[in-house]
Amino acid sequence: MAPQLSEDEIDDLLYAARTGDKDELTGLLSSLAEREKVTPAKLLISAKDEGKSTCLHMAAGNGHAGKPAAAAAEDEEKRKQKQAFLDAPNEYGNTGLHWAALGGHLAVVKLLVEHGASVALANDKNYVPLDLASFGDKFDVVDYFLSQSGGIEGENAAVGGLEGDMEGVSVEGGEGEEQVGVEGEEKGKGKGKGKETDKEVEEGGKSG
């Protein structure tokens, strides 16, 4: 049975993930998991805003994916459930990896890929994470995806691979420091985060 979380509890989880407050997120997960008799991973999968964005979206978009990814890993015996969490799309088809790539959070991108996040999943605009990193001039992230393309291709062949998506992608000059989302928003405004980030994705695609 799915955890029964109130709107406030979901909002608290999303806020803690977005701001990178590991202590608060750990405490919330621990108390709610005990109450609901489920694992932290199940709570993270269930906690979504009205745009279907999860704690992983919120954390990855702001460079804080460590705790959500680790909590998912604790539920290893349910590998499919872990994969579903890592690759969960929001209403625009973007995964946590899409948001991390768009924001240029290389450490988070590496962490998610190491945990098994699929790099070849396309969003509703048919963009994979590599595309979003390129649109945002996040050249270190682009370089990472390109350097890993051999191993990634083998692991993601079932969902189409990267070879076609990398054709025509060129990287030229400069480094970007644009932040994805707003960490300093008021608590209780988690839903706005998804809308802003997905708008940036759409605008980036137009300019790209």
Neighbours of 35 (CB within 10 A): 13
Regarding pTM above 0.85, the answer is no
In this structure, are residues 159 and 118 in contact, taking their beta carbons and an 8 Å threshold?
A: yes
- Per-residue pLDDT tens for 14-41? 998 888 888 898 899 989 989 988 888 7
Tokens 């702001």 belong to residue: 62
CA torsion, ordered 64, 66, 68, 70, to nearest 10 deg = 180
Is 7-119 a CATH 1.25.40.20 domain? yes
Instruction: Please state the rounded mean pLDDT for residues 34-57.
Output: 87
